[in-house]
């Protein structure tokens, strides 16, 4: 990633929060690195170097600023937008794949050699997959040190470090103090026992009602719920189950996580960020869409509308299939029946969606839908369980869509919906969707599918965001 010095320096000099996560500022005179919006005095030009990732700054010997906490900045929106190797790798690293499977596992998932993967990431981010995962481990460890009463040795292994020594050395190097000192400096907490509380930063603006209304209308009883401005849901994570409570506030979302296994902290955070689309660049999206007169009023009155995504790709694909020809309320009833049949509810807490294998093994009576659609879900579940269809964050978007459409009963609408919400494609458009056409008509746009699709070309590469606005307009 090439960083234009003048543009970056202007962002630092103006403390522009929009650039947090896009790049990091390293100051040679102090040996620290910051986010662009750091409130400290602007460093002299000759003392500044810019890096595309926190890992690259750490690799160059800089330690994190204690004032602006650059390691907790929003992620770069590039990794959500890009569908290439680097974007896919960054999404998987964020989900904790390197901690669980190592670099060989990451390379295998992506279909490249370790050497090529390391070369590509180093060229663009100034650090390879191990260094990028190490930077994430340090942030995970800091959260656990400051928000739990776990022993430091437990935190070391829960964060993904291979040894206590490695943990101690990394924390000292990144934060310029040992773990024990970080714990002494931790803020006073009022969190419930067993709960990890943290803030998930985002780039303003964030249109909170649009996000919560969308999720609330489609909420599955026993899996997710909304109470005021707080959204809660169950999660199925690599090492166990969890529940997350997310409350949007100014500049961050307050998150309370209850994890069966603290090793799941990083993937839980990654999935919550993905669900709320917190790494988006709303200014870039709104600038493109706002150039269209038909959408300009919507942009002015409701800036920062996000695309609600998914914590589970398979769950989202099943939802899309069930919702093809029924109302949102009807889809909710059908899905609830399936979850109950799979033994998903225990009555005491929210749970995650059943695994693909559990759904594939359900009896016919559990589906409550026409036989053809039931078989589509079965075939999807078997394909996901067998690894033939990838719906995870690092999936190849084009390949996943193509394989979805090979299944009988899955057409362009369903595959596009899954690509948008499960795989994170920001440029999906569904011109045949009835609600989209109603919304288009309400805004004075062409209402026929072909004419609307032609008009939507001007919204690239953000047509998924336009889609959400048309749904709201309907």
> What pLDDT shows up at residue 193?
57
Cα–Cα distance between 137 and 171 in angstroms, integer? 9
| Residue-level length of the chain | 474
Residue with tokens 């040992």: 178
> What pLDDT shows up at residue 90?
93
Q: Nearest Cα to 75, choosing from 42, 40, 103, 35?
A: 35
- Give the contacts of 44 (CB within 8 A, at least 6 positions apart): 29
Q: Cα-atom radius of gyration of the chain, to the nearest Å? A: 22
The mean per-residue pLDDT over the stretch 390-414 comes to: 94
- Residue 278 pLDDT greater than 90, yes or no: yes
Beta strands in 296-411 (DSSP E): none
Q: Coil, strand, or helix at residue 405?
A: helix
Residues 78-126 have pLDDT tens digits of 887 888 999 999 999 999 999 999 999 999 999 999 999 999 999 999 9
Q: Coil, strand, or helix at residue 319?
A: helix
Identify the structural domains of the chain with CATH numbers, from first to last. Answer: 5-72 (3.40.10.10), 78-184 (1.10.10.60), 196-270 (3.30.310.20), 313-473 (1.10.340.30)
Task: Provide φ and ψ at 24, rounded to 5°.
Answer: -130, 145
pLDDT band at 2 (very low <50, low <70, confident <90, very high): low
Query: pTM of the full predicted structure?
Result: 0.92
> What pLDDT shows up at residue 72?
85
Cα–Cα distance between 95 and 430 in angstroms, integer? 29
Cα–Cα distance between 137 and 143 in angstroms, integer? 10
Strand order in the sheet with 196-201: 196-201, 252-259, 240-248, 230-237, 224-227
Q: Nearest Cα to 335, choosing from 312, 246, 344?
A: 344
> What pLDDT shows up at residue 346?
64
The mean per-residue pLDDT over the stretch 149-153 comes to: 91
> What pLDDT shows up at residue 189?
54
Q: Nearest Cα to 89, choosing from 54, 132, 52, 46?
A: 132
pLDDT band at 192 (very low <50, low <70, confident <90, very high): low
Cα–Cα distance between 133 and 17 in angstroms, integer? 25
Task: Provide φ and ψ at 112, rounded to 5°.
Answer: -130, 165
pLDDT band at 49 (very low <50, low <70, confident <90, very high): very high
Between 79 and 230, the more confident residue is 230
Share the mean pLDDT of the chain: 92
Task: Provide φ and ψ at 240, rounded to 5°.
Answer: 155, -170
Cα–Cα distance between 133 and 96 in angstroms, integer? 8
CB-CB contact of 73 with 279 (8 Å): no
CB atoms < 10 A from the CB of 252, how many? 18
Catalytic residue from among 34, 38, 68, 272: 34
> What pLDDT shows up at residue 468?
97
- Residue 272 pLDDT greater than 80, yes or no: yes
- Residue 255 pLDDT greater than 70, yes or no: yes
Residues 405-414 have pLDDT tens digits of 999 999 999 9
Specify which residues 247 forms β-bridges with: 254
Between 336 and 442, the more confident residue is 442
| 312 counts as catalytic | no
CB-CB contact of 268 with 259 (8 Å): yes
Residues 303-329 have pLDDT tens digits of 999 999 999 999 999 999 998 877 888
Provide the 8-state DSSP code for 41: P
Cα–Cα distance between 320 and 421 in angstroms, integer? 10
> What pLDDT shows up at residue 220?
92
> What pLDDT shows up at residue 188?
52
Cα–Cα distance between 200 and 223 in angstroms, integer? 22
- Give the contacts of 297 (CB within 8 A, at least 6 positions apart): none
CB-CB contact of 456 with 464 (8 Å): no
Between 381 and 349, the more confident residue is 381
Residue with tokens 């039931």: 374
Residues 445-458 have pLDDT tens digits of 998 999 999 999 99
- Give the contacts of 430 (CB within 8 A, at least 6 positions apart): 412, 413, 416, 417, 436, 467
CB atoms < 10 A from the CB of 114, how many? 15
Q: Which helix (H) or strand (E) holds 232?
A: strand 230-237
- Residue 233 pLDDT greater than 60, yes or no: yes
CA geometry: angle 112, 117, 123, nearest 5 deg: 145
Q: Coil, strand, or helix at residue 227?
A: strand
Alpha helical stretches, state H, 15-113? 54-59, 78-81, 85-94, 97-110
Specify which residues 34 forms β-bridges with: 25
The mean per-residue pLDDT over the stretch 428-452 comes to: 95
What percent of the chain has pLDDT above 70?
97
Catalytic residue from among 264, 279, 312, 433: 433
CA geometry: angle 379, 385, 387, nearest 5 deg: 100
Q: Nearest Cα to 366, choosing from 384, 344, 347, 346?
A: 344
| 8 counts as catalytic | no
* DSSP per position, 124-167: HHSS-HHHHHHHHHHHHHHHHHHH----HHHHHHHTT-SSHHHH
């Amino acid at each position: 990633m090439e960083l234009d010095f003048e543009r970056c320096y202007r962002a630092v000099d103006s403390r522009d929060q929009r650039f947090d996560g896009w790049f990091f500022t390293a100051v040679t005179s102090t040996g620290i690195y910051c986010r662009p919006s750091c409130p400290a005095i602007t460093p002299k030009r000759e003392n500044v170097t810019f890096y595309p990732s926190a890992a690259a700054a750490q690799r160059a010997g800089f330690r994190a600023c204690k004032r602006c906490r650059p390691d907790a900045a929003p992620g770069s929106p590039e990794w959500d937008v890009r569908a290439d190797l680097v974007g896919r790798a960054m999404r998987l690293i964020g989900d904790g794949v390197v901690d669980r499977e190592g670099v060989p596992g990451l390379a295998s998932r992506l279909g490249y050699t370790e050497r090529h993967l390391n070369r590509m990431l180093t060229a663009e981010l100034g650090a390879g997959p191990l260094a990028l995962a190490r930077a994430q481990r340090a942030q995970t460890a800091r959260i656990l040190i400051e928000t739990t009463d776990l022993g430091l040795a437990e935190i070391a292994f829960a964060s993904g470090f291979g040894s206590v020594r490695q943990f101690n050395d990394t924390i000292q190097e990144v934060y310029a103090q040992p773990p024990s000192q970080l714990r002494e400096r931790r803020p006073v907490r009022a969190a419930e026992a067993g709960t990890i509380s943290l803030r998930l930063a985002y780039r303003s603006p964030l249109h909170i009602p649009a996000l919560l209304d969308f999720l609330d209308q489609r909420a599955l009883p026993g899996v997710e719920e909304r109470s005021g401005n707080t959204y809660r849901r169950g999660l199925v994570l690599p090492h166990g189950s969890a529940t997350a409570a997310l409350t949007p506030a100014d500049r961050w979302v307050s998150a309370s996580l209850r994890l069966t296994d603290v090793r799941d902290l990083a993937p839980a955070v990654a999935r919550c960020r993905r669900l709320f689309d917190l790494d988006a660049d709303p200014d870039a999206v709104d600038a493109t869409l706002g150039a269209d007169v038909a959408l300009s009023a919507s942009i002015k009155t409701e800036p920062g509308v996000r695309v609600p995504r998914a914590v589970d790709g398979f769950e989202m694909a099943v939802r899309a299939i069930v919702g093809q020809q029924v109302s949102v309320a009807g889809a909710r009833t059908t899905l609830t029946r399936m979850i109950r049949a799979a033994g998903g509810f225990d009555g005491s807490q929210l749970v995650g969606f059943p695994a693909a294998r559990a759904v594939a093994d359900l009896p016919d009576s559990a589906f409550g839908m026409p036989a053809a659609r039931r078989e589509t879900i079965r075939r999807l579940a078997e394909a996901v369980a067998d690894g033939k269809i990838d719906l995870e964050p690092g999936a190849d978007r084009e390949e996943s869509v193509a394989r979805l459409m090979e299944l009988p009963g899955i057409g362009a609408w369903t595959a596009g919906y899954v690509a948008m919400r499960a795989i994170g494609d920001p440029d999906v458009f569904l011109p045949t969707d009835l609600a989209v056409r109603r919304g288009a008509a309400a805004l004075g746009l062409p209402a026929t599918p072909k004419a609307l699709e032609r008009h939507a070309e001007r919204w690239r590469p953000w047509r998924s965001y336009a889609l959400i606005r048309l749904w709201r307009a309907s």
